[in-house]
Homo-oligomer: A and B are copies of this chain.
């Protein structure tokens, strides 16, 4: 069993709907509330369970929308009420993680925070813990530290982090500085990256002292920083919180933490990375969900759904059954079938990225009742 890290606080931003997983993911049932691995637990709960040994149940905060409060508390019965940070509307990751940093910094000035998405799939646990332990050691030295995933294939679906010189930090033998971030590359470039061993996948995990993170936000986005400080100052006063959130939150700049914090820090030589040798998947669309659940076997049909009644004849891909209906698939390859009470999706792995377009079309055509 891994030791708890005394000055560490885990932050789980649980914001995104996961439109590419519609009609499974919905505004009122976002991706992080679903069991996408057949484990019997939601991705959020799995994320909590990964972090609890490192941080302790009373030192994990979740940043989520007001609408998801009950679902989050239902998934995480051990979470202290004071650690559920509710957004009145989505303002992207810099605001969400920055809010947590600002609140936790006021409560505990020397705290080190680590932010971990609520809807990724990770194994094996000790390997993950080892990466976080190293990152915390690096953060203690005043760096902002990310965990970059060791690539297992030349993926064109992820951004990459280019390593620079190795750091010399006690307890973090694998830590290196980050030279730069790279957006999703083409296949040839991705192949070069993987072959070079200098590039890691950007999994959006950031570990740093709260004050260091806030200083970086202040340097790059002073208005955002000022808003976050105002929110944090009022947060733990029950009477003042509501009005300040209503006034300040909706005006915060919408910006991803990669742009507000990580990339500027990299340019200043203040961003470090430790490699994560664990299995990681952001389950970005049904193609990756199919892959994740078929164990990589191309000709298998993966089935998700407790009461699934599937009859398959020479079919492969994935079927997600959220109804009691008998589902029969004949001769369809790499198929994606998502069967819910009010919406049905049929596509293929190849077209999985286009699901988001359907969601947009449903909004535009007045069929938002199924979103």
**B-binding residues in A (CB < 8 A):** 23, 309, 311, 313-315, 324-332, 335, 337, 339, 341-348, 350-351, 354-355, 357-358, 361-362, 365, 367, 370
Contacts of A326 in B (CB 8 A): 23, 342-344, 362, 367, 370
List, in ascending order, chain B residues with CB within 8 A of A370's CB.
326
Q: Which residues of B contact A348 (CB under 8 A)?
A: 330-332
Task: Give 16 CB contacts A-B under 8 Å.
Answer: A23-B326, A23-B328, A311-B361, A311-B362, A311-B365, A311-B367, A313-B358, A325-B341, A326-B342, A326-B362, A326-B367, A328-B343, A330-B345, A331-B350, A331-B354, A332-B348
Cβ-closest chain B residue relative to A341: B325
| 13 further interface pairs, Cβ-Cβ under 8 Å (given A326-B343, A328-B345, A332-B346) | A313-B354, A325-B341, A326-B342, A326-B367, A327-B344, A328-B347, A329-B347, A330-B345, A330-B347, A330-B348, A330-B351, A331-B348, A337-B344
Point out the residues of chain B lying under 8 angstroms from A335, CB to CB.
332, 346
Question: Which A-B residue pairs are the 6 nearest by beta carbons?
Answer: A331-B351, A330-B347, A326-B343, A327-B344, A326-B370, A330-B351
B330 touches A337 (CB 8 A): no
Question: How distant is the Cα of A355 from the Cα of B331 in the complex, in angstroms?
Answer: 10
